[in-house]
Amino acid sequence: MDAVDHITLTGVRAFGHHGVYADEKRDGQEFVVDAVLALSLRRAAETDDVVDTVHYGELAERLVAVVAGEPVDLLETLAQRLADDVLSDDRVDAVTITVHKPQAPIPVPFGDVAVTITRSRP
């Protein structure tokens, strides 16, 4: 059995137009994404070559593209889209995605609201 290693990318900021309310879709707001990828990093460690791992710069760009893409109502849907994108890389066995919505329309003072999902290959 191969080791389970992790690549963690936190605090990726992107502007999107997601939300239940019309003004959220019209005006948009910043979202923050955290991703924890479970995969084997053994080959990358042996070769010391970026082609044998998930390039975290490219990963960040893909996450931003999803957030900036087609609007959805729910953070749950956005998180699923992000997880699906990450799992499209065959090297990734599982991913945990957290989507933060710091300017969510909540009528009381709050620090953050987020949805976290974990998905893995069947």
The per-residue pLDDT for range 45-63, each reduced to its tens digit, is 999 999 999 999 999 999 9
33 close to 97: Cβ distance less than 8 angstroms: yes
Q: Which domain holds residue 79?
A: 5-120
Structural domain total, the chain = 1
Q: What residues are labeled active site?
A: 101
Please, which pLDDT band fits residue 122 given cuts at 50, 70 and 90? confident
Please, which pLDDT band fits residue 2 given cuts at 50, 70 and 90? low
Q: What is the pTM of this model?
A: 0.94
3-state SS, residue 35? strand
Radius of gyration of the chain (CA): 16
Query: How confident is the prediction for the chain on average, in pLDDT?
Result: 96
CATH of the domain at 73: 3.30.1130.10
Segment 3-30 mean pLDDT: 95
Distance CA 29, CA 14 (A): 8
The amino acid at 5: D
